[in-house]
Amino acid sequence: MSRTRAVIFDFNGTISDDEPILDRLFREVFAADGIVFDSAYYYDRLAGLSDPEIVERALADHGATADPQRAARLLRAKVDRYKALVAQEPTVHPEVAAFVHAVADRVPIAIASGALHEEVDHVLAIAGLRDRFEAVVCIDDVPHGKPAPDGYLLALERLNAGRQEPVAAADVLVFEDADVGVAAAHAAGMRCVAIANPAYHGERAAAEAVVDALRPDHVDALLG
């Protein structure tokens, strides 16, 4: 197995323990707009996609008109509720923050997220983690969300900027929590560790390892 020279993290459900929050918020904003779905639908059809793609797919799946104004209104409502909620109830657990610090002490780290910068930067600021990441790539930065590899490839490109010895994709370890994210990491030529939760089934692509949580005492075993 290739040695780990860099690590790229997914964000929602990986660094930020917020998949149940996203499930609830998306269901709430869609219900207010007349579209009702349950958690099983969210985890089966939406979890792991970028926020704009979640809105588009949910509208399409329910035979709704996906005009840009409606999609933008739904997304704005979700973002506003999310930012208010995570400010009251921080979603980055101390153990996960310690894991991030421990990894960053060993190799360069980045984020590749399907969320908007507005949300990711907000949570990282609350957690005091922003300065540990050399690059933060969000859906604002790329043309296609996961399972496309765009986010992971751009994160690696930014990690390599100015480096005399660029890191190869095969030497990058990704931490993900959803099937589409694992597929994106593999499409980028990277190895992936999945976090066990309802968004990961190993259906699109099986991760090289599965862990129940990110803990600082696991860093040596996972990075090698």
Q: Annotated catalytic residue: which of 10, 23, 51, 177?
A: 10
Single-letter amino acid code for the residue at 8: I
Six token digits for residue 57? 């797919």
Six token digits for residue 207? 């991760």
Distance, in Å, from the CA atom of 87 to the CA atom of 38, rounded to the nearest integer, reads 26
Taking the C-alpha atoms of 90, 32, 117 and 39 in order, what is their torsion angle to the nearest 10 degrees? 60
Six token digits for residue 184? 């994106």
Q: Is 140 a catalytic residue?
A: no
Q: Which of 167, 82, 162, 182 is nearest to 126 (CA)?
A: 82
Active site residues: 10
